[in-house]
Amino acid sequence: MTKLLQVSGLCKAFGGVVVADKIDFSLSAGAMHCLIGPNGAGKSSFFRLLLGEHAPDAGTITFDGDDITHLRSFQRIRRGISVKFQVPGIFKALSVRQNLEVAFQSHLSGSQLEQTIHEMLEFTELSHVVATPAGVLSHGQQQWLEIAMAVGVEPKLLLLDEPTAGMSPDETRKTGDMLNELNNRGITILAVEHDMAFVEQISKRVTVLHFGSIFAEGTIAEIVDHMGVQEIYLGTVDDG
Ligand SMILES: Nc1ncnc2c1ncn2[C@@H]1O[C@H](COP(=O)(O)OP(=O)(O)OP(=O)(O)O)[C@@H](O)[C@H]1O
Protein backbone atom coordinates (compact mmCIF):
# COMPACT_ATOMS: atom_id res chain seq x y z
CA MET A 1 0.00 0.00 0.00
CA THR A 2 1.18 3.57 -0.65
CA LYS A 3 2.34 5.52 2.37
CA LEU A 4 0.07 8.44 3.16
CA LEU A 5 2.24 9.62 6.03
CA GLN A 6 5.98 9.12 6.40
CA VAL A 7 7.83 10.53 9.41
CA SER A 8 11.62 10.21 9.48
CA GLY A 9 14.02 11.06 12.29
CA LEU A 10 11.60 13.49 13.93
CA CYS A 11 13.10 15.25 16.96
CA LYS A 12 11.75 17.89 19.31
CA ALA A 13 12.76 19.02 22.77
CA PHE A 14 11.46 21.73 25.07
CA GLY A 15 14.52 22.65 27.11
CA GLY A 16 15.56 19.35 28.69
CA VAL A 17 12.26 17.59 27.92
CA VAL A 18 12.55 15.43 24.82
CA VAL A 19 9.07 14.95 23.36
CA ALA A 20 10.16 13.38 20.05
CA ASP A 21 13.35 11.36 19.83
CA LYS A 22 14.22 10.29 16.26
CA ILE A 23 10.71 9.08 15.51
CA ASP A 24 10.37 6.98 12.36
CA PHE A 25 6.72 6.25 11.69
CA SER A 26 4.53 5.64 8.68
CA LEU A 27 0.89 5.06 7.85
CA SER A 28 -0.44 3.42 4.72
CA ALA A 29 -3.40 5.04 2.99
CA GLY A 30 -6.53 3.50 4.51
CA ALA A 31 -4.88 2.46 7.78
CA MET A 32 -6.54 2.61 11.18
CA HIS A 33 -3.78 2.78 13.77
CA CYS A 34 -3.58 3.48 17.50
CA LEU A 35 -0.85 5.22 19.43
CA ILE A 36 -0.52 4.39 23.10
CA GLY A 37 1.97 5.20 25.85
CA PRO A 38 2.11 6.34 29.47
CA ASN A 39 1.27 9.90 30.52
CA GLY A 40 3.85 12.34 29.23
CA ALA A 41 5.18 9.90 26.58
CA GLY A 42 4.84 12.53 23.87
CA LYS A 43 1.65 11.42 22.12
CA SER A 44 -0.05 14.82 21.99
CA SER A 45 3.26 16.47 21.08
CA PHE A 46 3.58 14.05 18.15
CA PHE A 47 0.15 15.18 16.92
CA ARG A 48 1.16 18.83 17.31
CA LEU A 49 4.30 18.14 15.26
CA LEU A 50 2.21 16.43 12.55
CA LEU A 51 -0.17 19.37 12.52
CA GLY A 52 2.57 21.99 12.41
CA GLU A 53 1.79 23.50 15.82
CA HIS A 54 5.34 22.62 16.91
CA ALA A 55 8.33 23.06 14.61
CA PRO A 56 10.61 20.00 14.75
CA ASP A 57 14.29 20.38 15.70
CA ALA A 58 15.17 17.74 13.09
CA GLY A 59 13.53 15.21 10.80
CA THR A 60 10.98 15.26 8.00
CA ILE A 61 7.27 14.71 7.58
CA THR A 62 5.98 13.63 4.18
CA PHE A 63 2.24 13.62 3.56
CA ASP A 64 0.57 12.30 0.44
CA GLY A 65 3.88 12.46 -1.43
CA ASP A 66 4.86 16.00 -0.40
CA ASP A 67 7.34 17.22 2.21
CA ILE A 68 5.16 19.19 4.65
CA THR A 69 7.81 19.57 7.39
CA HIS A 70 7.88 23.35 7.12
CA LEU A 71 4.29 24.03 6.15
CA ARG A 72 2.04 25.95 8.50
CA SER A 73 -0.96 24.30 10.17
CA PHE A 74 -3.58 25.77 7.86
CA GLN A 75 -1.60 24.56 4.84
CA ARG A 76 -1.50 21.02 6.27
CA ILE A 77 -5.22 21.15 7.02
CA ARG A 78 -5.86 22.25 3.46
CA ARG A 79 -3.89 19.25 2.22
CA GLY A 80 -6.13 16.89 4.16
CA ILE A 81 -4.99 16.54 7.76
CA SER A 82 -7.74 17.00 10.32
CA VAL A 83 -7.43 16.75 14.08
CA LYS A 84 -9.58 16.37 17.14
CA PHE A 85 -7.71 17.13 20.33
CA GLN A 86 -8.64 15.88 23.80
CA VAL A 87 -10.38 19.07 24.92
CA PRO A 88 -13.46 19.65 22.75
CA GLY A 89 -12.81 22.49 20.31
CA ILE A 90 -16.45 23.36 19.93
CA PHE A 91 -18.13 26.72 20.44
CA LYS A 92 -20.35 26.04 23.42
CA ALA A 93 -22.63 29.05 22.99
CA LEU A 94 -23.32 28.24 19.33
CA SER A 95 -25.86 25.67 18.21
CA VAL A 96 -24.82 22.32 16.76
CA ARG A 97 -25.67 23.60 13.28
CA GLN A 98 -23.69 26.83 13.77
CA ASN A 99 -20.65 24.83 14.90
CA LEU A 100 -20.84 22.74 11.71
CA GLU A 101 -21.22 25.88 9.60
CA VAL A 102 -18.11 27.41 11.20
CA ALA A 103 -16.14 24.22 10.57
CA PHE A 104 -17.17 23.81 6.93
CA GLN A 105 -17.66 27.34 5.62
CA SER A 106 -14.10 27.80 4.34
CA HIS A 107 -14.40 24.61 2.28
CA LEU A 108 -18.06 24.52 1.26
CA SER A 109 -20.97 26.78 0.39
CA GLY A 110 -24.58 26.68 -0.84
CA SER A 111 -26.15 23.27 -1.44
CA GLN A 112 -22.86 21.43 -0.82
CA LEU A 113 -22.64 22.98 2.64
CA GLU A 114 -26.26 22.05 3.38
CA GLN A 115 -25.74 18.50 2.13
CA THR A 116 -22.62 17.98 4.25
CA ILE A 117 -24.27 19.39 7.38
CA HIS A 118 -27.22 17.07 6.81
CA GLU A 119 -24.97 14.03 6.28
CA MET A 120 -22.85 14.76 9.34
CA LEU A 121 -25.91 15.28 11.55
CA GLU A 122 -27.28 11.92 10.41
CA PHE A 123 -23.93 10.19 10.76
CA THR A 124 -23.39 11.36 14.33
CA GLU A 125 -27.10 11.07 15.24
CA LEU A 126 -27.25 14.72 16.24
CA SER A 127 -30.14 15.76 13.97
CA HIS A 128 -32.56 16.01 16.89
CA VAL A 129 -30.31 18.52 18.69
CA VAL A 130 -29.40 20.63 15.66
CA ALA A 131 -30.62 23.88 17.27
CA THR A 132 -29.30 23.10 20.76
CA PRO A 133 -26.31 25.08 22.09
CA ALA A 134 -23.30 22.75 21.95
CA GLY A 135 -22.47 23.49 25.58
CA VAL A 136 -25.57 21.69 26.85
CA LEU A 137 -25.01 18.49 24.86
CA SER A 138 -23.90 15.37 26.71
CA HIS A 139 -20.16 14.76 26.84
CA GLY A 140 -20.43 12.04 24.18
CA GLN A 141 -22.51 14.26 21.89
CA GLN A 142 -19.92 17.06 22.19
CA GLN A 143 -17.19 14.63 21.14
CA TRP A 144 -19.28 13.42 18.18
CA LEU A 145 -20.00 17.00 17.14
CA GLU A 146 -16.28 17.62 17.05
CA ILE A 147 -15.71 14.43 15.06
CA ALA A 148 -18.36 15.67 12.60
CA MET A 149 -16.56 19.04 12.40
CA ALA A 150 -13.28 17.25 11.69
CA VAL A 151 -14.55 14.81 9.05
CA GLY A 152 -17.08 16.95 7.16
CA VAL A 153 -14.16 18.57 5.33
CA GLU A 154 -13.27 15.09 3.99
CA PRO A 155 -9.75 14.76 5.36
CA LYS A 156 -7.35 12.11 4.10
CA LEU A 157 -5.88 11.71 7.58
CA LEU A 158 -7.85 12.10 10.80
CA LEU A 159 -5.86 12.48 14.04
CA LEU A 160 -7.85 11.79 17.21
CA ASP A 161 -6.40 12.47 20.65
CA GLU A 162 -8.23 10.27 23.17
CA PRO A 163 -11.60 10.37 21.40
CA THR A 164 -13.37 8.35 24.12
CA ALA A 165 -11.98 10.10 27.21
CA GLY A 166 -14.79 10.53 29.76
CA MET A 167 -17.32 8.50 27.72
CA SER A 168 -19.64 5.81 29.05
CA PRO A 169 -19.10 2.25 27.73
CA ASP A 170 -22.07 2.68 25.36
CA GLU A 171 -20.74 5.99 24.03
CA THR A 172 -17.30 4.44 23.62
CA ARG A 173 -18.67 1.53 21.57
CA LYS A 174 -20.72 3.89 19.43
CA THR A 175 -17.63 6.03 18.81
CA GLY A 176 -15.75 2.89 17.74
CA ASP A 177 -18.53 2.01 15.28
CA MET A 178 -18.37 5.56 13.92
CA LEU A 179 -14.61 5.45 13.41
CA ASN A 180 -14.80 2.03 11.75
CA GLU A 181 -17.40 3.44 9.36
CA LEU A 182 -15.24 6.49 8.58
CA ASN A 183 -12.27 4.20 7.95
CA ASN A 184 -14.42 2.03 5.64
CA ARG A 185 -15.25 5.21 3.73
CA GLY A 186 -11.53 5.67 3.10
CA ILE A 187 -10.32 8.03 5.84
CA THR A 188 -6.97 7.03 7.31
CA ILE A 189 -7.15 7.32 11.10
CA LEU A 190 -4.49 7.65 13.79
CA ALA A 191 -5.89 7.66 17.34
CA VAL A 192 -4.24 8.15 20.70
CA GLU A 193 -6.11 5.96 23.13
CA HIS A 194 -5.73 4.44 26.60
CA ASP A 195 -8.73 2.11 26.59
CA MET A 196 -7.40 -1.19 25.19
CA ALA A 197 -10.90 -2.60 24.59
CA PHE A 198 -11.56 0.38 22.36
CA VAL A 199 -8.16 -0.02 20.66
CA GLU A 200 -9.12 -3.60 19.92
CA GLN A 201 -12.47 -2.52 18.51
CA ILE A 202 -10.95 -0.17 15.95
CA SER A 203 -7.37 -1.12 15.25
CA LYS A 204 -5.23 -4.04 14.23
CA ARG A 205 -1.84 -2.48 14.88
CA VAL A 206 -0.54 -0.36 17.73
CA THR A 207 2.53 1.80 18.26
CA VAL A 208 3.83 2.45 21.79
CA LEU A 209 5.55 5.76 22.55
CA HIS A 210 7.78 6.15 25.60
CA PHE A 211 9.94 9.19 26.41
CA GLY A 212 9.29 10.53 22.92
CA SER A 213 10.51 7.49 21.04
CA ILE A 214 8.91 4.42 19.58
CA PHE A 215 9.20 1.69 22.17
CA ALA A 216 7.26 -1.08 20.40
CA GLU A 217 4.99 -1.67 17.45
CA GLY A 218 2.82 -4.68 16.67
CA THR A 219 -0.57 -6.31 16.77
CA ILE A 220 -2.70 -5.71 19.84
CA ALA A 221 -2.01 -9.24 21.10
CA GLU A 222 1.76 -8.70 20.70
CA ILE A 223 1.63 -5.38 22.54
CA VAL A 224 -0.56 -6.66 25.38
CA ASP A 225 1.82 -9.60 25.93
CA HIS A 226 4.98 -7.45 25.59
CA MET A 227 6.76 -7.53 28.97
CA GLY A 228 8.56 -4.24 28.32
CA VAL A 229 5.27 -2.48 27.53
CA GLN A 230 3.72 -3.81 30.72
CA GLU A 231 6.74 -2.49 32.63
CA ILE A 232 6.61 1.03 31.19
CA TYR A 233 2.98 1.29 32.25
CA LEU A 234 4.00 0.15 35.72
CA GLY A 235 6.84 2.68 35.64
CA THR A 236 9.71 0.20 35.97
CA VAL A 237 11.52 1.03 32.72
CA ASP A 238 13.52 4.26 32.59
CA ASP A 239 14.97 6.09 29.60
CA GLY A 240 18.54 5.07 30.32
N1 LIG B 1 5.01 23.30 24.93
C2 LIG B 1 5.64 22.57 25.85
N3 LIG B 1 6.65 23.10 26.60
C4 LIG B 1 7.30 22.37 27.52
N5 LIG B 1 7.06 21.07 27.78
C6 LIG B 1 6.07 20.49 27.08
C7 LIG B 1 5.32 21.19 26.08
N8 LIG B 1 4.42 20.34 25.55
C9 LIG B 1 4.59 19.16 26.18
N10 LIG B 1 5.58 19.25 27.10
C11 LIG B 1 6.07 18.16 27.97
O12 LIG B 1 6.41 17.10 27.09
C13 LIG B 1 6.06 15.84 27.66
C14 LIG B 1 5.15 15.09 26.73
O15 LIG B 1 3.87 15.69 26.75
P16 LIG B 1 2.65 15.18 25.86
O17 LIG B 1 1.44 15.99 26.24
O18 LIG B 1 3.02 15.15 24.44
O19 LIG B 1 2.48 13.68 26.41
P20 LIG B 1 1.28 12.68 26.23
O21 LIG B 1 1.86 11.37 25.90
O22 LIG B 1 0.28 13.21 25.27
O23 LIG B 1 0.67 12.65 27.70
P24 LIG B 1 -0.84 12.41 28.21
O25 LIG B 1 -1.16 10.96 27.97
O26 LIG B 1 -0.74 12.74 29.67
O27 LIG B 1 -1.74 13.35 27.45
C28 LIG B 1 5.44 16.15 29.02
O29 LIG B 1 6.46 16.02 30.00
C30 LIG B 1 5.01 17.59 28.88
O31 LIG B 1 5.00 18.25 30.14
Q: Is the pLDDT of residue 174 over 80?
A: yes
**What is d(CA 125, CA 118) in angstroms, rounded to the nearest whole number?**
10
Ligand 1: which residue has its CA nearest to atom 7?
14
**What is d(CA 201, CA 35) in angstroms, rounded to the nearest whole number?**
14
pLDDT at residue 89, rounded to an integer: 84
Across residues 29-53, what is the average pLDDT? Answer: 94
Ligand 1: which residue has its CA nearest to atom 17?
44
Across residues 116-137, what is the average pLDDT? Answer: 96
Q: What pLDDT band is residue 196 in, cutting at 50, 70 and 90? A: confident
**What is d(CA 215, CA 65) in angstroms, rounded to the nearest whole number?**
26
Q: What pLDDT band is residue 237 in, cutting at 50, 70 and 90? A: low
Q: Who contacts 228 (Cβ-Cβ below 8 Å, separation ≥6)?
A: 215, 216, 237
Q: Is the pLDDT of residue 97 over 80?
A: yes
Ligand 1 binding pocket includes 98 (Cβ within 6 Å): no
Q: What pLDDT band is residue 129 in, cutting at 50, 70 and 90? A: very high
Q: Who contacts 131 (Cβ-Cβ below 8 Å, separation ≥6)?
A: 95, 96, 97
Alpha helices by DSSP H, listed for the chain, are 43-51, 73-79, 96-104, 110-123, 139-151, 169-184, 196-202, 220-225, 227-234
Q: What pLDDT band is residue 164 in, cutting at 50, 70 and 90? A: very high
* Structural contact between residues 164 and 84, judged by C-beta atoms closer than 8 angstroms: no
Q: Is the pLDDT of residue 153 over 90?
A: no
Q: Is the pLDDT of residue 138 over 80?
A: yes
pLDDT tens-digit profile of 54-78? 999 999 999 999 999 999 999 999 9
Full-model pTM: 0.91
**What is d(CA 40, CA 130) in angstroms, rounded to the nearest whole number?**
37
DSSP state of 137: S
Ligand 1 binding pocket includes 16 (Cβ within 6 Å): no
Q: How far is the CA of 119 from the centre of ligand 1 (A)?
A: 36
pLDDT at residue 240, rounded to an integer: 47
Q: What are the backbone angles phi and psi of residue 168, rounded to the nearest 5°?
A: -75, 165
Q: What pLDDT band is residue 238 in, cutting at 50, 70 and 90? A: low
pLDDT tens-digit profile of 76-90? 999 999 998 877 789
What's the chain's average pLDDT? 92
The dihedral region occupied by 10, where left means phi > 0, alpha psi between -120 and 50, and beta the remainder, is beta
Q: How far is the CA of 208 from the centre of ligand 1 (A)?
A: 15
Q: Which of 127-136, 211-220, 221-230 has the lowest mean pLDDT?
A: 221-230
ipTM above 0.90, yes or no: yes
